[in-house]
Amino acid sequence: KRNAQGEDIKALESALVGKPVPAKNLTELFENKAYTNELFQQGEPVLLNVWATWCPTCYAEHQYLNKLAKEGVRIIGLDYKDESPKAMKWLKDLGNPYQVVLKDEKGSFGLDLGVYGAPETFIVDGKGVIHYRYAGDVNEKVWTQTLKPI
């Protein structure tokens, strides 16, 4: 997959690697609870998974994310450029691997993160600093060979 400039989006490094998760007021999908980037500064590493109901690859990775969550991996979901009712139904039907699901209906937080599309996953340390960006679906191979070692 290539972007408009012809660059391989899986190979592109995020400009934010080594920097904190951008400061933004975000709203939780189910409870409309407000969050800031302090959500990512709780002392434990977390996966920030960008997903949407319109994304077929997100559907493919969802089962594996459920498995990781059951194994104790902390995952925060960012519902990207999506409709909240559809997203809530998706999670009720397919399971919810996320500790918190943030809504980004207009895609502004995704833009701040440098998101090209969905799915994308960021590894964030316990201080809220982004260490890695992965574009594409997280599966067993990607998790064991690329993400988990980080």
What is the per-residue DSSP string for 56-86?
Answer: HHHHHHHHHHHHHHHTT--EEEEEES--HHH
Q: From CA 26, how far away is CA 104, in angstroms rounded?
A: 8
pLDDT at 142: 82
Q: Report the candidate in 89, 28, 91 with the shortest Cα–Cα distance to residue 65.
A: 91
Q: How many structural domains does the chain have?
A: 1
Tell whether 3 is covered by a domain: no
Tell whether 9 is covered by a domain: no
Print the domain residue range for 48.
26-147
Q: Is the pLDDT of residue 148 over 70?
A: yes
Q: Is the pLDDT of residue 57 over 50?
A: yes
Q: Report the candidate in 130, 108, 129 with the shortest Cα–Cα distance to residue 121.
A: 130
Instruction: Outline where DSSP puts E strands in the chain.
Output: 26-28, 34-35, 46-51, 75-80, 100-104, 120-124, 130-135
Tell whether 52 is covered by a domain: yes
pTM: 0.88
Q: From CA 60, how far away is CA 42, in angstroms rounded?
A: 29
85-108 pLDDT tens trace: 999 999 999 999 999 999 999 999
Tell whether 4 is covered by a domain: no
Q: Which two tokens stand for residue 148?
A: 């988990």
Q: Is the pLDDT of residue 10 over 50?
A: no
Query: Which CATH number do you get for residue 76?
Result: 3.40.30.10
Tell whether 1 is covered by a domain: no
69-84 pLDDT tens trace: 999 999 999 999 999 9
